[in-house]
Structure 1
């Protein structure tokens, strides 16, 4: 222990509350100094003189007067520390040295100060403090002795890292268990590198120090002569015990390692089932040897890491395959629907093979309507995903044919029941007309949708439901009720699967309340809103997949005046045909396209005549203005026959076969679409004022060329 002589600061030095800075220093035996490097002067305050055991009358105020009282080796140490600080451009200076007091006791002094530089950047003064550090040095030495008596730091590291690795599932979890460990600094490890063998190369997948990441060395070949390559090829660890050895053995790597202050390194092969799968690199500071015990513990650590890494790689591979299968079953894109904004999100389950049967789909329907479908096939395996893919395509086909929503669900249930599977599926089907907001919803054992209104409030859309798909066909209950509602401009419909709101051990209503709040608090844009909901409700790491679909009716989709007219034309009813022509004439005149009236009447005559001649029963004529900026009128003739018309070239003596040729010449576009149990043949006429617009026929339209 140091000879701490008792002394007391005078009352004026302490003053009132709080004590001045000078009292803080004086009461804790901290003295101040000011070292003038240019003038060779050294000022020591009374406390500094007391700490250094100097008589104020004997101290001449120069550095030399102080250094002459120290042993030569201590004076040399002060000079070396100062020279290094000035040479390296440091902003501070610190040194420990020993002094022998007049009574013969030896103690440690710690001097530290800030280096002051002039306008040219040249060091001119050092201003700092000195203190008696004898007790601190003794305590530090005692800690070192205790550490040497119990050399288990490396062992504790192995135990703690192994415990962390036991919970690792993915490769990311393994790297986090290694790089996030707080004991690395205590063991003097400057950086940790984890590399994986991939196709004759080593890829560095993790680095504990961001500053030491070298993108050019992320991938290296096994023959490039790097330490990781050597240990992978030889299956033997490599221990490096000096910077000189590192620079000599690996000259290409050393320039990237030197800035870390490396003094030693350990490179360990990661071997699983007798094959190298990667390598571990540990870069140390202030370490110059590895004891046999340390080497054995590090080798044991590499074994634990190898086993965990192999499990994680297999998990990631299985998960990628399963997720790829699931994503392949989902639609690659969703259509753009005039008057509506759509966003979809899907997240697979965390468990590798436990993908689910969640899906979504969006179908553009005749008349500008849109069908939105979301559902969940029972089970979490590849069979559920396969059934989901078949069911999704079947429902899409039924919807695209124009069947009513209840019919779509009934046919989907019958389709699933006829598959060679014991699975059922819940589903929610919404058919929306963005122009009018009219919405028809059918629910098959699924969760009700939510609606965020234009004012930001949210509500649950209560719907009448039927049995899940597959079960309703099995029990003969295929009459699905239809819930009709209306979406106002700016309203957003949210459809989702139970994986978004259900959590093990929690109540479903709690999840729905959280989802309602996330929907209400989310941003305005549907894409940003979908991201927000996924972030708040997604909770990565759950054992269920989830899907969500957002449909927003545009705020400018104000209710349109009636621009759709219908007329039934029965067989053998000439007056109905006359009335149909009159309806076309009045519609096109009132809609401001009288220039195309003659063409439209003649083409409609041909389509109606074809329907009456070539099919049984009557036909329904529909005339409507398309809801876009092209100003075009569509004429549709719907019949109950399944045979599609085809254009052909008639001979000179034939009296039939010229109807569709005439329609092709008169109309800007024409085509055929499935419509419920029959078909709809249509043609379109564009206003001359919009002649610059381009009409695009939907897929499946017969060639008009």
Structure 2
């Protein structure tokens, strides 16, 4: 719609006249909106003086409207021409110097003859379409009644009250349909504003596609009966004729139904239905039938010409709204399917973390958003926790979310530190364009060090619930969102006791129209303060109980933070993780000398420790792995060296050294005497890789622990291994390269 000019001044009025003036101003605004105009004017006809007097103005400057303040019947102005001819008149040009492209004027008539004219200034020279004109007629009829009362004529007879009521309801229906988003919104609006004014007792709305009718809404019918309206169309049915001809069918009695459609009486319309009169209305949009609505009555009912015209006009409006809503529903469903496919279907069950999550789409009919979360297993039983939010709503944002989640999984698999990972993610979002931004929180929980290190990019901070019930959300200065940030990102660290909770969320959970993000975060901390934290077990039968507890806590948080989800305007994501520290007797560390004796000492340490753990079956394989890893350090890196074994659902073997060089696997030739060490490591382990500290690196391997030799009762079964290929062909050897060199299969970096 083109911009409106300031509204003109209203004449001084007594209180009743002021109420009428406000009502007429509302009618003018509706008239302007119906045709996308600049403004509107309303004139009252004075037959004694033979002139039209301006009584209401909307969207037209008072000075500009002055030219039409008084118009004689014989003048060539659009209101006068419409009054003389008794039909709508459209005139091109800017008669009031307001920038309008033309004017459409509609005569106002009452029981005694003409009472005035309604004029709308147009933004474009195109003629209003049939639907716009039909709505303009309804507004004009309502305004005419108001002018009659203002002239202190006798109030209209009682039988004319429904006309006024229908005009008001038409205005409300138009406004409601303009705001309707989903198909159900359209059906509810139709039922609310059409059933009662026309005295109908039942309504069925069906969508038509691929030769079939599908019910999308009903009122006043038994649930099993409306199924008869669904299915393929066949000849000899009123629905078929209506959809084929795009013309309504009004059937006033069962006898008339039998006369027109004898085959239908026993099959469809009669039988268990108490209805005895029907209005079959086509729902047409863009020249094609998109559905049908059926108004039905419990008693035979005649349909006047006014009823038929009004219902036909309303059905056209509903048809356009229904088509728009169906397109939205289709796009929304596809976007939700895309988003559901991109979010993790099941969170991994890990020794160090039991996690539950909730994704809550917006409840106000808007498109899907870009919220996501993930739990990613890292080496040494560490866990990466990530949550993010792509700004905006729609399929494009959901697709961007999928790209970012994939990128995070890839970068996390390289064991990057939180700040380094967000730096790479920031580059990715920046490359998407200036209109793409996202917030993100990436955290790494270490069950051995019992710490959580995280970085923020414009995202709400994490909340930590300690086993003693203390709730903590460290106050930090978050970096800007991804796409607007300039690395490096800050890294924050929190110590966590065994059994602590880590709670991550997006702003849709804590921010709303009722409170800001800071107040919402305080409310979230209050809710979490009342949640009991179960004692944690690193592995064992209590995993199921812990999972149930976290799931219940997720539900509690969602219920209390979003009590009225239907009114939410943003997506929300929630991730709650129950952390578990690794017991001290599952950790074994041993310093190694920086000389060739180191390999032998490492094998002795492995034999002794695995015997204590009851894992003698893994001794031979672990000795081979340790020998190769320590041998590589002696040949290609530097000390100091340290060997660490970790026992959980898997056995992790780590060799630390003081070099930042990267191990590289290669395909050795048949005549080569060496170069097969890392191939052997890859063949003997379920997964292997490297991660980097500030001044050293760690080469690690993982092995499955055979059933029955876990060494501790109640062991959780191994999770799915995320391993690299068994070999990597390349022109390099096992010698050390620069830190930026390519890593071997499954290799990952970390701090």
TM-score (norm 1): 0.66
> 1:232 is matched with which residue: 235, 243, 260?
243
- SS of 1:174's equivalent? helix
Map 1:242-641; keep pairs closer than 5 Å: 242-247=253-258, 249=261, 251-252=263-264, 254=266, 257-258=269-270, 259-327=272-340, 329-349=342-362, 356-380=369-393, 384-385=397-398, 387-417=400-430, 420-421=433-434, 423-433=436-446, 437-452=450-465, 459-470=471-482, 474=486, 477-489=487-499, 491-504=500-513, 506-519=515-528, 525-538=549-562, 539-553=565-579, 557=580, 560-567=583-590, 573-594=595-616, 596-613=618-635, 615-617=636-638, 622-628=643-649, 633-637=651-655, 640-641=660-661
- Contact map agreement 2:453 2:491 (CA 8 A) in 1: no
After TM superposition, give the deviation of residue 203 of structure 1 in Å. Answer: 1.1
* CA-to-aligned-CA distance 1:439-482 (integer Å, 9 cap, x gap): 22322332122244557x573421534412547863xx515132
After TM superposition, give the deviation of residue 159 of structure 1 in Å. Answer: 4.9
Map 1:72-111; keep pairs closer than 5 Å: none
In structure 1, the residue matched to 2:687 is 671
In structure 1, the residue matched to 2:206 is 195
After TM superposition, give the deviation of residue 200 of structure 1 in Å. Answer: 2.1
After TM superposition, give the deviation of residue 520 of structure 1 in Å. Answer: 5.5
After TM superposition, give the deviation of residue 431 of structure 1 in Å. Answer: 1.6
Structure 1 residues 351 and 453, CA, compared in 2 at 3 Å: closer, same or farther? same
Distance 1:380 1:545 in 2: 9
Structure 1 residues 174 and 294, CA, compared in 2 at 3 Å: closer, same or farther? same
Distance 2:162 2:619 in 1: 98
After TM superposition, give the deviation of residue 373 of structure 1 in Å. Answer: 0.7
* CA-to-aligned-CA distance 1:404-456 (integer Å, 9 cap, x gap): 3333334434554566546443321222245775322322332122244557x
After TM superposition, give the deviation of residue 331 of structure 1 in Å. Answer: 4.1
Distance 1:196 1:375 in 2: 38
Distance 1:662 1:187 in 2: 83
- Contact map agreement 2:181 2:325 (CA 8 A) in 1: yes
After TM superposition, give the deviation of residue 609 of structure 1 in Å. Answer: 1.9
Where does structure 1 lack aligned partners over 5 or more consecutive residues? 1-144
- Contact map agreement 2:350 2:719 (CA 8 A) in 1: no
After TM superposition, give the deviation of residue 582 of structure 1 in Å. Answer: 3.4
* CA-to-aligned-CA distance 1:136-186 (integer Å, 9 cap, x gap): xxxxxxxxx9854645366665455444434322211111223356x7368
- SS of 2:374's equivalent? strand
- SS of 1:393's equivalent? helix
- SS of 1:401's equivalent? coil
Structure 1 residues 415 and 236, CA, compared in 2 at 3 Å: closer, same or farther? closer
- Contact map agreement 1:194 1:204 (CA 8 A) in 2: yes
* Greater gyration radius: 1
Structure 1 residues 275 and 520, CA, compared in 2 at 3 Å: closer, same or farther? farther
- Contact map agreement 1:330 1:359 (CA 8 A) in 2: yes
* CA-to-aligned-CA distance 1:624-677 (integer Å, 9 cap, x gap): 24323xxx53323467444543676x75x7543665686688x5x443235248
After TM superposition, give the deviation of residue 238 of structure 1 in Å. Answer: 0.8
Where does structure 2 lack aligned partners over 5 or more consecutive residues? 1-155, 533-547, 728-751
- SS of 1:448's equivalent? coil
Map 1:59-74; keep pairs closer than 5 Å: none
> 1:205 is matched with which residue: 209, 213, 216?
216
Structure 1 residues 381 and 170, CA, compared in 2 at 3 Å: closer, same or farther? closer
After TM superposition, give the deviation of residue 270 of structure 1 in Å. Answer: 1.1
What root-mean-square deviation, in Å, do the aligned CA atoms of Structure 1 and Structure 2 show? 4.0
* CA-to-aligned-CA distance 1:342-368 (integer Å, 9 cap, x gap): 222334456888654432222111122
Distance 1:532 1:210 in 2: 38
Deviates more, 1:218-227 or 1:171-180: 218-227
After TM superposition, give the deviation of residue 297 of structure 1 in Å. Answer: 1.9
In structure 1, the residue matched to 2:183 is 171
- SS of 1:690's equivalent? coil
> 2:721 is matched with which residue: 689, 698, 702?
698
- Contact map agreement 1:174 1:308 (CA 8 A) in 2: yes
After TM superposition, give the deviation of residue 500 of structure 1 in Å. Answer: 1.9
> 2:674 is matched with which residue: 634, 656, 676?
656
